[in-house]
Amino acid sequence: MTELNLVSCKIPKHNYRNANKEHVATPNILERQFAVTEPNTTGVAM
């Protein structure tokens, strides 16, 4: 590598934000139902 003047490139690692605050639960304003009893019975256009 030194003969050809090649240099390796390191990709910097991703830095995550510190999670110091607790997650605030969002209220269910639209009264959405997430418990589905049968498959393919609910959808966006239904």
Asked whether 42 and 36 are in contact (CB, 8 A), the reply is yes
Helices and strands, number each (H, E), in the chain? 0, 0
The CA angle 27-28-30, to the nearest 5 degrees, is 135
- Tell me what pLDDT residue 22 has: 77
- Tell me what pLDDT residue 45 has: 63
DSSP assignment, residue 41? S
Structure pTM? 0.22
Digit-coded pLDDT (tens) for 3-46: 888 888 888 888 877 777 777 888 877 777 777 788 877 676 64
- Tell me what pLDDT residue 33 has: 72
